[in-house]
Amino acid sequence: MEKTGKKIRIVVLDGYTLNPGDLSWNALESAGDCVIYERTSPSEVVERCRDAEVVLTNKVPVMAAEIEQLPRLAYIGVLATGYNVVDLQAASRRGIVVTNIPAYSTDSVVQMVFAHLLNVTNAVQLHSDSVRRGDWTHCADFSYTLSRQTELVGKTIGIVGLGHIGSRVAAVAYAMGMKVVASTSKSRDELPAYITPLAWDDFLAASDVLSLHCPLTDRTRHLIDAASIAKMKESAILINTGRGPLLDEQAVADALESGKLAAVCVDVLSTEPPAADNPLLTARNCYITPHIAWATYEARVRLMQIAVANIEAYLAGAPVNRVG
């Protein structure tokens, strides 16, 4: 990284989610004249980035309107894997390098998938809270349950999308004794022996647990809608740690209320933060975490390290993890 002469101007638009105070910005700050904002509204982007050569953003959009007003901008680093917050065509017209952070949170997201699943099947917190209220102390029996306790061995998990995360979910599920089926474009010869690819309707009908790990495209938007749900088991557990719009949220909420789905677990919603009237917020047996599957300490350390390495590679004239 540049150590002498005039340093580059680096602006971080929304650093708080990556580093709420438990990480160090030192490595990034050594790259140049670095200004870190915890949060930035869209209307503040141009003013804050006016002199910047390097801009880092997680969820703050840097689109054509902003890019056109930032003549010094040469590099945009997305502090996440998804890069839809950047207008790649506008960046390309200007010759601006755009990078992302791939595969930094795979194990953390897999862990969240099973945290949600085990919360549904074992209800640990529900029972722990009951014991703390004194319910066990006053119980006539040595044991009691407040919800059905479900064993995962022998159950079938269906996975949509066998990238880094989906493949790891499959491996963990198999290690727990589950059967694994997948909706995938990969052939059986490309898959581990323990994963069985199925046609969509057969896949939906077979899955006791259905976990979504596919990208959001025009084809996958509302992949799980009323028609898909109608083909699923009434005992099915649906998990979405991928992208919020993979679900038709109203259809999913309706299925929960009618008992067509046993439970839904999501770490992502169609808009974030969600609108107060999002139907999943009040649907029964719906368990929602606020987009935190990526945010373990260890994953954020990796993200920071890769972000700095991306800038180092760019300054060396050999950009890596380039998406635009």
Residues noted as catalytic: 243, 272, 291
Secondary structure (DSSP) of 293-318 = TT--HHHHHHHHHHHHHHHHHHHTT-
For 106, 116, 121, 140, 214, the CA distances from 81, given in Å and listed in that order, are 11, 22, 30, 53, 13
* 183: CB partners within 8 A, 6+ apart: 158, 159, 160, 161, 197, 198, 200, 203
Kindly report the number of other CB atoms within 10 A of residue 27's CB atom.
16
Q: Is 53 helix (H, G, I), strand (E, B) or coil?
A: coil
Tokens at residue 163, please? 């990238």
**C-beta separation of 234 from 256 below 8 A:** no
Pairing mode, strands 54-57 and 32-36: unpaired
Q: How far apart are CA 106 and CA 166, in angstroms?
A: 9
* 161: CB partners within 8 A, 6+ apart: 183, 184, 212, 213, 214, 215, 242
Q: How far apart are CA 82 and CA 87, in angstroms?
A: 12
| Amino acid sitting at position 245 | P
Q: Where are the beta strands (DSSP E) in the chain?
A: 8-12, 32-36, 54-57, 75-78, 97-99, 156-160, 179-183, 195-197, 209-212, 237-240, 263-266, 286-288
